[in-house]
Amino acid sequence: SDEECDQRIQAAKEKLAERCVILGHHYQRNEVFKHADVSGDSLKLSSYAANSEAEYIVFCGVHFMAEVSDILSRPEQITILPDLAAGCSMADMANRVNVERSWNELNSIINADEQVTPVTYINSAADLKAFCGRHDGIVCTSSNAKQVLDWCFEKREKILFFPDEHLGRNTGYRMGIPLEEMVVWDFNQPMGGLTKEQIQNAKMILWKGFCSVHQMFQSKQIDDFKKKHPETIIIAHPEANFEVCEQADYVGSTEMILKTVREAKPNTRWLVATELNLVNRLKEEVKGQGKQVHFMSPTVAMCSTMFRTDPQHLAWVLENLVEGTVVNQIQVNDDDKQMAKKALENMLSLF
C-alpha cells in the first residue's frame, strides 16, 4: 500500500542519507512529490543534482529529464528513473531517423548547414540534443526560449525548432516574427509538406510536435470561464496552443507560473493552463491568501507518463540502493553525451 511504501521510502532515505538525492518535478503526483528533497523544473533539478555531492540522483520525472541529469552530472554520479516507462509523448515525436531525414531534405533546398540553427526544447531525447550539438545548435527551456532564439538569430537567419510547434510559435510571435514566417514541418510528409518557397521564406521552421496534455486547453474554456468570472487572470504554459496563449495575461514556464501566482496580490482569481498536479498543489498553497486558483480544462489534463512514477517504484529503487544494487540507471552513450552536452552548454553559457 502507499502507506507502507511511505514508511519504507523514509527508512531507505534515512539509511542512504546524503548519498542520495530525490528530485521531484512539478508535474509529479503528491504521493511521490512529498518525498522529494528538491522540486523544480527539469533544468533546475538537473543543475541542482550536478552540483550536489550525492552519489545517486533519483529523478522523479520523465526519461528526457533523467538523461539531462546524466549528461550534466559528474561521471561517478548515477541517475535513476524509478519507472523506465515514464517517457514523454512530445519527446518521442522527434526521433533521430526522422530528424536526420528532414535535415537532408532541407539541405536539398537551402544550405541548412549554413543558414539554419537547430534548436531543441529540453523536452527531447538525448540523441536529438546531440544532433543539435553537432550542427552548432542549442537547447532551450520554456523559461529561456526567447534568449536562446535571439542567440540563434545573431548567428544565422533561420531556425529549425524541435519538437514543440507551440513553444516555437508562441515564442517567435512574441519576438515579433509574423505568423506567416513560421511554417510547420510535418515529418510524415515528404519535404515536411512544404513548398520550396515556404521553406526559403521562413524564419522559423517548426517541427510538428505537441504535448498531449497542453493541447487539451482551448480558448473556448477561457471564454466560458470569463463569462462567470470576468475578473479572472489567465496564465498559460507556452506548450498550450497559440489562441490560448494569445488570450492569456501571462505565458510562462512552470517556475514562472508558480512565482507569478505566489507573488500576486491577495484576493485574485487565476485560471491556469498547465498540468493538473501542479495546479492542485498551487491552489492549496495560496488559498490562505484569498487567491482562487482554477484548472483550465474541464477534462483531466494530467500527464499520464509523469503519473507512472508511484511510491511503489520509488520504494523499490531506494531499497535496492540500500542493498548496494543500482536498478533503472539512465546512461546516455558517450558520443551523444558529449554532443548533447555541447548543445546544453551553449544554452547555459547565456545565463
Contact 202, 158 (CB under 8 A): yes
Minimum CB separation from ligand SF4 for residue 86, in Å? 8
Does residue 285 come out as left (phi exceeding 0), alpha (psi in the -120 to 50 range) or beta?
A: alpha
Asked if 236 touches ligand SF4 (CB under 6 A), the answer is no
Closer residue to ligand CIZ in complex, CB, 198/254: 254
Asked if 46 touches ligand CIZ (CB under 6 A), the answer is no
212 binds, among ligand CIZ, ligand SF4, none (CB under 5 to 8 A by kind): ligand SF4
DSSP string, 4-63: HHHHHHHHHHHHHGGGEEEEEETTS-HHHHTT-SEEE-HHHHHHHHHHS--SEEEEES-H
Three-class DSSP category at 118: strand
Cα 238 to Cα 245: distance, rounded to the nearest angstrom: 7
Total site size for ligand CIZ, rule CB under 6 A: 12
Asked if 42 touches ligand SF4 (CB under 6 A), the answer is no
141 binds, among ligand CIZ, ligand SF4, none (CB under 5 to 8 A by kind): ligand CIZ
CA angle 319/325/330 to nearest 5° reads 100
Asked if 282 touches ligand SF4 (CB under 6 A), the answer is no
Task: Count Cβ neighbours within 10 Å for each residue of 282-299 and write b for 16 or more, e otherwise.
Answer: bbeebeeeebebebbbee
Cβ neighbours, 10 Å, residue 188: 8
Interface residue with ligand SF4 among 218, 305, 309, 328 (CB under 6 A) is 305
Cα 282 to Cα 139: distance, rounded to the nearest angstrom: 28
Asked if 67 touches ligand SF4 (CB under 6 A), the answer is no
Asked if 144 touches ligand CIZ (CB under 6 A), the answer is no
Asked if 253 touches ligand CIZ (CB under 6 A), the answer is yes
Closer residue to ligand SF4 in complex, CB, 52/253: 253
Contact 35, 29 (CB under 8 A): no
Asked if 124 touches ligand CIZ (CB under 6 A), the answer is no
Asked if 28 touches ligand CIZ (CB under 6 A), the answer is no
Contacts with ligand CIZ, residue ranges (CB under 6 A): 25, 41-43, 122-123, 141-142, 237, 253-255
Contacts with ligand SF4, residue ranges (CB under 6 A): 27, 62, 88-90, 123, 211-213, 275, 303, 305-306
